[in-house]
């Protein structure tokens, strides 16, 4: 049996073009930026490689909705992709409300007075999605 410190969880900020990815040791790690993947036909294979190299035991995908909690076209696209990834990766994928994460990421990057790319926002948004999920499931509790 593997030690818990050797396992990780990956957070995903899913967009039409890019997917920001963050990682954290499971169950009590601090999320950090990992990479950005291209949302194309190679996504499942690239994500499978990351899952293996990071020894990920689950994924957390940000669920986009309006501030009122209503579904959007992006919500439906995200849910379709998550269903596909669940089938192909054979790994649990949890959904986490991502309201405001991109705006928060952009504000943080702007505040730090550095030049940034859209991919930087995607990665930092994935960190926030993963932080929110992990704070709700401290120590791996309430999963199921």
State the pLDDT confidence band at 30, using cuts at 50, 70 and 90: very high
Residue 63 pLDDT > 80, yes or no? yes
- Residue 139: predicted pLDDT: 65
- Residue 140: predicted pLDDT: 65
Mean pLDDT over 24-28 rounds to: 89
Q: What is the CATH number of domain 4-140?
A: 3.30.420.140
Longest dimension (CA), the chain: 45
Please report the beta strands in 7-85, taking only residues with DSSP state E, as ranges in sequence order.
8-14, 18-25, 32-38, 56-63
What distances in angstroms separate CA 41 from CA 44, 47, 90, 93, 124, one per listed residue? Answer: 7, 11, 18, 19, 24
Residue 4 pLDDT > 90, yes or no? no
**What are the boundaries of each domain within the chain?**
4-140
Give the mean pLDDT of the chain: 90
pLDDT tens per residue across span 48-60: 999 999 999 999 9
What distances in angstroms separate CA 66 from CA 2, 44, 97, 125, one per listed residue? Answer: 40, 27, 10, 16
Mean pLDDT over 28-38 rounds to: 95
Mean pLDDT over 72-81 rounds to: 94
């Amino acid at each position: 049996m593997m030690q818990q410190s050797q396992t990780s969880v990956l957070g995903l900020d899913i967009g039409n073009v890019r997917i920001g990815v963050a990682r954290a040791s499971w169950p009590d790690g601090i999320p950090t930026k990992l990479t950005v993947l291209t949302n194309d036909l190679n996504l499942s294979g690239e994500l499978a490689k990351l899952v293996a190299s990071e020894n990920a035991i689950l994924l957390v995908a940000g669920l986009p909705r309006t501030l009122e909690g209503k579904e959007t076209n992006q919500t439906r696209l995200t849910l379709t992709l998550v269903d596909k990834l669940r089938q192909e990766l054979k790994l649990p994928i949890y959904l986490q409300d991502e309201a405001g994460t991109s705006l928060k990421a952009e504000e943080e990057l702007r505040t730090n007075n550095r030049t940034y790319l859209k991919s930087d926002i995607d990665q930092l948004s994935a960190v926030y999605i993963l932080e929110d999920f992990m704070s709700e499931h401290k120590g791996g509790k309430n999963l199921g």
